[in-house]
Amino acid sequence: MEVKEQIEQLRKELDRHNYNYYVLNAPEISDHEFDRLMRKLQELEEAHPEYYDPDSPTQRVGSDLNQDFTQVAHRYPMLSLSNTYNKQEVAEFYERVQAGLKGEHFEICCEMKYDGLSISLIYEHGRLVRAVTRGDGIQGDDVTENVRTIRCIPLRLRGNGYPENFEIRGEILMPWVSFEALNKEREEREEPLFANPRNAASGTLKSKNSSVVAQRKLDAYLYYLLGNDIPSDGHYENLQAARSWGFKVSTAMKKVTTLEEIYQYIDYWDTERKNLPVATDGIVLKVNSLQQQRALGYTAKSPRWAIAYKFQAERARTRLNAVTFQVGRTGAVTPVANMDPVQLAGTIVKRATLHNADIMEQLDLHIGDMVYVEKGGEIIPKIVGVDKDARNAQTGPKAQFITYCPECGEKLVRYEGEAAWYCPNDTACPPQIKGRIEHYISRKAMNIDSLGPETVDDYYHRGLIHDVADLYDIRVDQINGEDGTREKSAQKVVRSIADSTKVPFERVVFALGIRFVGEIAAKTLARHFKTMEALKTATLEELLQINGIGSVIAESVIRYFHNGTNLQLIQRLKEHGVQMALSEEELSTHSDKLSGQSIVVSGVFSLHSRDEYKAMIEQHGGKNVSSISSKTSFVLAGANMGPAKLEKANKLGIPILSETEFLKKIE
């Protein structure tokens, strides 16, 4: 496989896992596997900067934004931590800190890494005024009303000595006891179970009904204090002060100075954490002095003064009873192992993903085998090995991957360069139809936020919708309930669907769900062809001439527009008023003012977000690049620009523009 295709495939895979993890709260792979794929992509992108993409998963921190809540910008960006899974990398972190501080004495604060939902709490004059989720690190969801129901979070502070205005960050958690009780209730009601306490906490905190949040007995641990007037230079000391103000701060925190003491802390909690009432997935190590933290600074995505050590996944042995198969939106068929129930990382595990046919073959699974199961990152179980010595005369036949779709009976196909087998019947296979409708209504596509997967499933089974165009035929009287008590919500649904006709053309292209056409490819195609008619009649040669469109995407576009059902669908969408061309306003905002220029965006901005600036650069013909080189045209710099980038730009004589200078340049 060519490097470019390998990079694109990794981006697609990581984008999907990001979406599953942050939006659907239904991750398919472990944190360890996700980190491995991310590192692989980072290495390829660094070796091949010509394939830079501003929307690559490596350029983002991740997102849990929910459009049902107001978006609030973080005063200080909420960055993620670099992850490590072995003590050697912990030692390398310790040595980097030593070198960065030029031999200066330093302390490390060791603390538990709780597995929940990150939260930022804002206090003014001793009262809670706002609670915001991490979101994409730059802005998050305002969930203040829901957080107010969590009993361990003080609405008014105790004692005195706290700053007039400050921010404290922590983790919202669902204790094991609450989690097991919740899943038991859901099982009795035949509702889907939460995979783990983190998913349950996340789903609960985003509930529209704060009374639901109160009933589920969430917990919280606070672990970082920010502000202009906080009491101490010591991170540990600040949290002890916060404890006196009424905050729940972990008693497991410990200050150390040597690498050996860090190892002792890791070894102790690797075992003892299993006795904690809440889920943990590692240890966080932070330089204790805030002054030293500032001296060490940040990379683009994480602080240099902190690192997360992730515990190795727990493993259990159980019996494989059957392999079943699930069909996703794109037609990808995923094998699932069904096993005897086994206790693993605090939950009962009955099913585990097998990912694809190749992994099934590598494992050499037989029905009745005793298999080893892990919950990597304590999230999604997967089979990691087979106890072949336990095989006997009662062991069944080898588990075979299917050749026909379990939902519609179509013969499966495998595309070149793809690990998955696909059902090609994308116009009549039920899971694909429902999946495409769910994709169409999603935030980054048509943003019909009044609908969700359960509602789509209900409408589909009632015969109200068979494809995305049917959405526009839905009437209030069809969905307002038998007794008309859901009139208000029905009106909201119909209004949201009607509003989607204003969504720009480039997002319409993405919303169609053309296989292999992601958000970036959809933008590229929309901006190049400008109308659906031109895109529809494009030849393979024309598509391949577009920068960023390879043979896999080009051939998929051709296949899509050669399908009569898809052409009819587009015609119906057009009749319903969906945008089928770039608007005059969109066309007028594009220019070639930055044509041929490679631009690095670095720092924290106040007038527009980082993503908005990157979009402006593309809008005016420029190219976003991640690293500074002699080919860089200029750097768009906000506050706290990375010191390494600043030094390199000065060394190479690369111009550095402020926000106002940049905006003046493109006005």
Q: Which residues are catalytic?
A: 113
Of the candidates 207, 133, 218, 126, which has an alpha carbon nearest to the alpha carbon of residue 163? 126
Q: Report the C-alpha gap between 617 and 546 in whole angstroms.
A: 18
Q: Kind of pairing, strands 634-637 and 656-657?
A: parallel
Asked if 358 and 419 touch (Cβ cutoff 8 Å), the reply is yes
CA torsion 162-163-169-173 (nearest 10°) is 30
Contacts of 660 (CB under 8 A, 6+ apart): 607
Per DSSP, the three-state class of 277 is coil
Neighbouring CB atoms inside 10 A of 13's CB total 16
Asked if 440 and 468 touch (Cβ cutoff 8 Å), the reply is yes
Q: Kind of pairing, strands 83-84 and 219-226?
A: unpaired
Asked if 75 and 124 touch (Cβ cutoff 8 Å), the reply is no
Q: Report the C-alpha gap between 645 and 638 in whole angstroms.
A: 12
Q: How many residues does the chain have?
A: 667
Q: In what order do the strands lie in the sheet with 634-637?
A: 623-625, 598-602, 634-637, 656-657
Q: Report the C-alpha gap between 293 and 76 in whole angstroms.
A: 14
Per DSSP, the three-state class of 632 is coil
Neighbouring CB atoms inside 10 A of 484's CB total 10
Beta strand extents in 174-234 (DSSP E only): 219-226
Tokens representing residue 443 in the block: 């935030």
Query: Which ranges in 285-394 belong to alpha helices (H)?
Result: 290-296, 357-363
Asked if 79 and 303 touch (Cβ cutoff 8 Å), the reply is yes
Q: Report the C-alpha gap between 118 and 114 in whole angstroms.
A: 9
Please spell the DSSP secondary structure of 56-100, one letter per residue. SGGG-------TTS-EEE-SS--PPPPEE-SHHHHHHHHHHHHHH
Neighbouring CB atoms inside 10 A of 225's CB total 24
Q: Kind of pairing, strands 306-310 and 83-84?
A: parallel
Q: Report the C-alpha gap between 211 and 60 in whole angstroms.
A: 34
Asked if 216 and 174 touch (Cβ cutoff 8 Å), the reply is yes
Partners of residue 383 on adjacent β-strands: 373
